[in-house]
Homo-oligomer: A and B are copies of this chain.
Amino acid sequence: MPEDTLTNRLYEQIAQIPIRDPHTHISPHQPAARCLDEILGYHYYTELAHSAGMPHNPLRPDYPPRERCRVLLRYLERFDNTVQASWLLEIAQTFLGFPKSRISAEDADWLWDKAELVMSAPDWDKQVLTRSRIEEIFLTNDFDDPLEGFDTRLYVPCLRTDDLVFRLHQEGVRQRLARATGIEIGEVRQLRHALDRLFEHFVRHGARACAISLPPDFTPLPPEPGVFPRLDSPSPELSRYVFWTLAECCQDFGLPFDLMIGVQRGVYRHGVPQGQDLFDQRTSLSQYRELFNAFPRVVFCVSVLSSSQNPELVAFSWIFPNVVASGHWWYSNLPGFISRDLTVRLQGVPKSKLIGYYSDAYKLEFVLPKFNMFRRVLAQVLAEEYVRGRGWSEEDAVQLARQILYDNVASIFPAAKRTE
């Protein structure tokens, strides 16, 4: 906690704002962790432990989970400087009543036992939701997700489309699409029909966004009229065709399109699961100019993987009415990057077009410490730039926080009319 009292006061008020988390990987069927292994199994910990020297062996599925946690906490000593380690500490303190200010290898058994105890409560997920003041959790749903068995007002479906755009040439993906929609597409011109079915299904179940992650060299362009790429082999043309058709669906069904730009998959081939992807900074939002021009009614919520691209994101969301600057994604999700990136977004982009933060979490327990990390940075920026720098009242500063963290989630991702 920073010692500045103004910043502290702002933080305390911002921490009262309930959380609407507009992008996560949480499963609505198992939203909270059931044991310490599901906390320490988060790829941030496995990849940092591996980066710091941990071999792959403890990550094998048949490795005893309690022992795996012991191993991970031994390696934690090598990366306890990271902000990811501070999330773990905050989880331990907030949800497990951990009394110390640092976690070391000797705490492994205490943490394991305490986690077993509290996480086995039948209402554990509700406890986490309540203690974290979480109101909405946006999901990342496979396109063939039945979207059933959970409260879609709390767990908001979002259609994730990476499989469609980059793997439609795989027969398995097309079979899943056929099963989900009842439409077998033999050629690409039938795609739109199948996607309409998907979008109908998602919107009917309360979906509020379509989402995709994109590699640095992706450049969406409209399909050439009358030219239809082959379905059965991968090609940039096929990916662009599918992507463009998805944007048309977003327009017709009124869904915002989350673009998470810049990830290169599988760069570190021997990395731990989900710890293999990196990026190439030689990319530009300028690659998306035709898309942004072509779909003025689709709201594109853009995240960039490299903080160096933030100046582009500021400029594009300042100029294009349909481009929204969204959160601090993955490798950009460090307080040092957030502080700089957030400051200039607030200074240059209409406040109605900023999505302050999303957690990207896999388990509910991570939502609070990640949001709190962002809230601390936000409180500092508001104190320095707005209250001290521009003479705003504290109320106005907190209201700005509320808008980018809470109000805008409702206005940018409006709840679709429900036909259920």
Contacts and interface: CB of A to CB of B under 8 A. Distances in A.
A319 B276 contact: yes
B340 A314 contact: no
Interface stretch (A146-154, A179-187, A243-251, A289-297): A289-297
A122 interface: no
A79 interface: yes
Interface residues of A, number: 83
A84 B276 CA distance: 40
A48 interface: yes
A284 B280 contact: yes
A286 B280 CA distance: 6
A47 B388 contact: no
Interface in A300-357: 306-309, 311-312, 314-321, 331-332, 334-337, 340, 343-344, 346-353
A97 interface: no
Contact of A78 (B48, B292, B352): B352
Interface centre among A50, A282, A283, A348 (most CB of B within 10 A): A348
B83 A348 contact: yes
A326 to B, nearest CB: 15
A278 to B, nearest CB: 6
Given A292-B268, A319-B51, A347-B334, A2 B81 contact: no
Given A52-B353, A334-B347, A286 B312 contact: no
Given A1-B389, A337-B344, 11 more contacts: A80-B351, A81-B346, A82-B350, A83-B348, A267-B286, A267-B289, A271-B320, A277-B319, A278-B285, A334-B344, A336-B343
- Identify the 3 closest CB pairs spanning chains A and B, nearest first: A79-B350, A336-B343, A280-B286
